[in-house]
Amino acid sequence: MKTVFFGGGCFWCIEAPILILNGVKSVEPGYMGGHFKNPTYEIVCTGQTGHAEVVKIVYDPNLVSIVTLLEIFFSIHDPTSVNRQGADEGTQYRSIIFAEEIEFLEAKKHLVHMEKSKVSNSPIVTELVCVTQNDWCGVSDDIKKIFWPAEKYHRNYYINNENNSYCSVVVKPKVDNVKKLFSKFIRK
C-alpha cells in the first residue's frame, strides 16, 4: 500500500470522488502544512494556522496508479487558483500535494507536463511537498509535514450528507464528473 495527501479546496470535495475508486483502501480528511499542533476545523478555518485541508489516501498501486490519482485530483479542482476553490476561500483551501519520494517525483513530472502543455492560461500554483512516513506519522521535527486527522464528522461527509446543499451543488458534480471521465477506475 502507498499513501499520498491531496489538498484542493474543501476536503469533502476531494474525499468523495477519490473514495469511489477501485484500489483506494481509505480516504481520511485532515490537516497538513501548518505551524500549529492538534488543529481543529474551527481553528484551521480562521486561516491563522497555515494548515491546508487535505485527504490522506491509502491505495494499492497495483490497482490504481499515482498518475491516475493525479489526473483525477487535477480534474476535480482548479490548480491555478490561489487559496480558493469556488466559493471556498482561504489558505486552508490551497492546492497542495504531500507525497513520498517516488510519488513526489511523479507529481513533479505531472506538474511540469501540465505547465508545458499550457492546460491553462494561468500558472499552476499547486504546492508540492516531499514527506516520509516518519514525517506524516508525527515522528518528524517538521510540524508542517505531520498529518492531523480531522474530526470524525468530516469522514464520509458526502455519503452521510448527500442532501446537504453544499454536497448537492459542489461535491456531487465532482463525483459525477469522475464517474463519467474515469469510469474504468470506479469501484464495482
- What pLDDT score does 149 carry? 98
Give the pLDDT band of residue 21 (cuts 50, 70, 90).
very high
Mean pLDDT of all residues belonging to the chain:
93
Q: What is the mean pLDDT of residues 155-184?
A: 97
Q: What is the mean pLDDT of residues 38-51?
A: 96
Give the pLDDT band of residue 138 (cuts 50, 70, 90).
low
Per-residue pLDDT tens for 162-172? 999 999 999 99
Give the pLDDT band of residue 142 (cuts 50, 70, 90).
confident
Q: What is the mean pLDDT of residues 46-66?
A: 97
Q: How far is the C-alpha of 136 from the C-alpha of 134, rounded, in Å?
A: 6
- What pLDDT score does 188 carry? 84
- What pLDDT score does 177 carry? 97
Q: Distances in Å between the alpha carbon of 74 and those of 27, 120, 148?
A: 17, 12, 23
Give the pLDDT band of residue 101 (cuts 50, 70, 90).
confident
Percent of the chain predicted with pLDDT > 70: 97
- What pLDDT score does 134 carry? 72
| Element counts in the chain: helices (H) and strands (E) | 8, 8
Catalytic residues, by residue number, are 10
- What pLDDT score does 143 carry? 84
Grid coordinates in use for 160?
Answer: 452521510
Q: Are 107 and 70 in contact (CB under 8 A)?
A: yes
pLDDT at 102 over 70: yes
Q: What is the mean pLDDT of residues 49-64?
A: 97
What is the CATH number that goes with domain 2-185? 3.30.1060.10
- What pLDDT score does 147 carry? 95
Give the pLDDT band of residue 137 (cuts 50, 70, 90).
confident
Q: What letter would DSSP give residue 183?
A: G
Q: What is the mean pLDDT of residues 16-31?
A: 98
